[in-house]
Amino acid sequence: MKWLKRIGLRMVGTALTLLALVAVCLMLLRAVPGGPLDGEREMPSTVRAAIEAQYGLDLPFSEQYGRYVSNALDGELGPSMQYPDFNVEELIALSAPITITLGLLATFLALGAAIPIAAAIAAEPMALQAARTGTLVMLAVPKFVLAPLLVLVFSLSLNWLPVGGFAWREPLTWVLPVACLALPQFFVLLRVLIENMRAAMEKSPVIAARARGYSPLRVVTRHALPLALAQTFGFFGPILVALLTGSAVIEQVFNIPGLGRYLVQAALNRDFTLLIGCVITVATITIVAHFVVESLQELFDPRVRARG
């Protein structure tokens, strides 16, 4: 029953957060100077009035907010101003799977590389300092600098990988974008795992396993590593958020038609309907990711379950 109560409270909190986010987006878009209909050439007032009525831009804030929420609950986010042949939900349905796929691949790559390396070098005296240095370097290098460097080396110099684009049936187009997203998070996970592995080696279950004469490999993989992973789950939420925010830069650099690229283009072109739809989608993905991380923490860490 406690678990169901927590789920219910989280769902209510999620709904209130999304409603507040829609209100904030609409208020900010109404407050900024200019609008999606402003251009180099002034359009006739009758044409402007007709377009504003079509998109609901002429409505008071309360009516505009209520209309948007009502339509969103029906799965309708309105037509895009930049892409008039598409509705916003259609563009999101096409782009969100690409962004989610890139983010998941980057997460699995970073985690899959960090776990065995951390388990192998956690006991080395200089391992933690090396991981900290790598983390600082990778986080200090912006993704719009890292991406062209990788393109210069692996695409233009070695001619191993395509320069840009994305195709579901061509996995080589995934390599550079996923690597750019995964590299900074790999060093973050590596540093955290090494710290947690060192702390886990001092725990009583690991000490007891050593006393029983188990091999070092078994002590690390079956006793210390699960404890370290349970401590590391708390960092997955910020990492997933970093992957989502970083995907906007990566998708721009590699010309990938993902959610981040549409978000940036909508902001630049003041495509209000597409911008709000992308923001709500990113927020929903972030909330779901945090929910999954918290559920995994409760599953693997008994102390979290005890606090619940």
pLDDT tens digit sequence for 225-251: 888 887 777 777 777 777 777 788 888
pLDDT per residue as tens digits for the range 95-111? 889 888 888 889 889 88
Domain final position from 17, 48, 73: 73
Identify whether 81 is part of a domain.
no
Residues 28 and 161 in one domain: no
Q: Give the pLDDT score at 36.
A: 61
133 shares its domain with 199: yes
Average pLDDT value for residue range 136-140? 79
Q: What are the pLDDT digits (tens) for 34-86?
A: 666 665 556 667 766 776 776 677 778 888 888 888 888 888 888 887 887 88
Boundary (domain end) residue, out of 73, 100, 129: 73
In a domain, 82, yes or no: no
Q: Quick check: 306 pLDDT over 80?
A: no
In a domain, 114, yes or no: yes
So what's the pLDDT on residue 34? 62
pLDDT in tens, 54-63: 667 777 888 8
**Do 112 and 256 have their domain in common?**
yes
Which residues is 79 bridged to in the sheet? Answer: 87
Give yes or no: residues 98 and 131 share one domain. Answer: yes
Of the ranges 132-141, 155-164, 299-308, the best mean pLDDT one: 155-164
Per-residue model confidence (pLDDT) at position 38 = 61
Q: What is the pLDDT of residue 220?
A: 80
Distance (Å, whole) CA 86 – CA 124 = 56
Residues 158-205 pLDDT 10s: 888 888 777 888 888 888 999 988 888 888 888 888 888 888 888 888
Helical ranges in the chain per DSSP H: 2-31, 45-55, 61-73, 88-121, 127-140, 143-150, 172-200, 204-211, 216-218, 225-232, 236-253, 259-269, 272-300, 302-307
Q: Are residues 63 and 93 in the same domain?
A: no
Structural domain for 152, as ranges: 89-307
Number of domains in the chain: 2
Domain membership of residue 12 (yes or no) is yes
At residue 79, the 3 state secondary structure works out as strand
**In this structure, is residue 122 part of a structural domain?**
yes
Instruction: Tell whether 231 and 258 lie within a shared domain.
Output: yes
In a shared domain, residues 61 and 155: no
**CA 24 to each of CA 18, 31, 265, 275: distance values in angstroms, whole numbers, following the listed order:** 10, 10, 20, 13
Please say if the pLDDT value at position 267 is more than 60: yes
Inside any domain, residue 80: no
Same-domain status, 171 and 235: yes
Determine the Cα–Cα distance for residues 224 and 173; give it in Å rounded to an integer.
Answer: 37
One domain for residues 111 and 234: yes
Of the candidates 33, 49, 73, which is a domain's last residue?
73
Domain presence at residue 252: yes
98/124 same-domain check: yes
Selection from 79, 87, 88, 31 nearest residue 56 by Cα: 79
Q: How confident is the model at residue 266 (pLDDT cuts 50, 70, 90)?
A: confident
Confidence of residue 288 (pLDDT cuts 50, 70, 90): confident
Q: Indicate whether 199 and 252 sit together in one domain.
A: yes
**CATH code, domain with 133:** 1.10.3720.10
φ, ψ at 170 (rounded to 5°):
-125, 85
Is 285 within 8 Å of 100 (Cβ atoms)? yes
Within a domain: residue 33?
yes
Q: Is the same domain home to 61 and 97? A: no
